[in-house]
Amino acid sequence: MNARNCKNCGRIFNYVSGLPLCPACRDLMEEKFQTVKEYIQNNKDTTMKTVAEECDVDENQIRQWIREERLVFADDSGIVLQCEICGRSIRTGRYCDKCKQETMRDLAGAGRQPVRPQPVQKKEKENPRMRFLDNR
Ligand SMILES: [Zn+2]
Ligand SMILES: [Zn+2]
């Protein structure tokens, strides 16, 4: 048994996975999420602050849902998110599609030895002296 204190209410509960929230708070959070989701769908030109106030949810919590890509904003939504890398406007998550691909590629390449640049082929025409040296 993995006992932990609920991040929200402090109650001790049997922690399984995900957010450190007790089942009751987890249900509450899920309800909030649905409220926020509906609110955003029905109020396209809202702001993060308004959503937080109207739905009584912490702005950070909303951002968290966005990062998890659970909340997606319509193209005409008043909430503008920015890619954390290039600053381009995005609809959900943390990065634009382009940066996401690049990050994935970087992750896939992580752990491998950095590729050494190949020695540049000598261009004989451009450097006749090199040929002389090479033929020595
Ligand atoms: Zn709780
Ligand atoms: Zn980007």
CB 40 within 8 A of CB 50: no
State the pLDDT at residue 15: 92
Q: What is the pLDDT of residues 20-78, one digit of tens each?
A: 999 999 999 999 999 999 999 899 888 899 999 999 999 999 999 999 999 988 877 87
Regarding pTM above 0.75, the answer is no
Q: Which two tokens stand for residue 94?
A: 């943390």
Gap from CA of 14 to ligand 1 centroid (Å): 11
Gap from CA of 50 to ligand 1 centroid (Å): 25
Q: What is the pLDDT of residues 80-98, one digit of tens each?
A: 889 999 999 998 999 999 9
Decide if pLDDT at 109 tops 70: yes
| Torsion on CA atoms 26, 29, 35, 40, rounded to nearest 10 | -130
Decide if pLDDT at 116 tops 80: no
Gap from CA of 42 to ligand 1 centroid (Å): 29
Higher per-residue confidence, 12 vs 110: 12
| Torsion on CA atoms 22, 23, 24, 28, rounded to nearest 10 | 100
Gap from CA of 25 to ligand 1 centroid (Å): 4
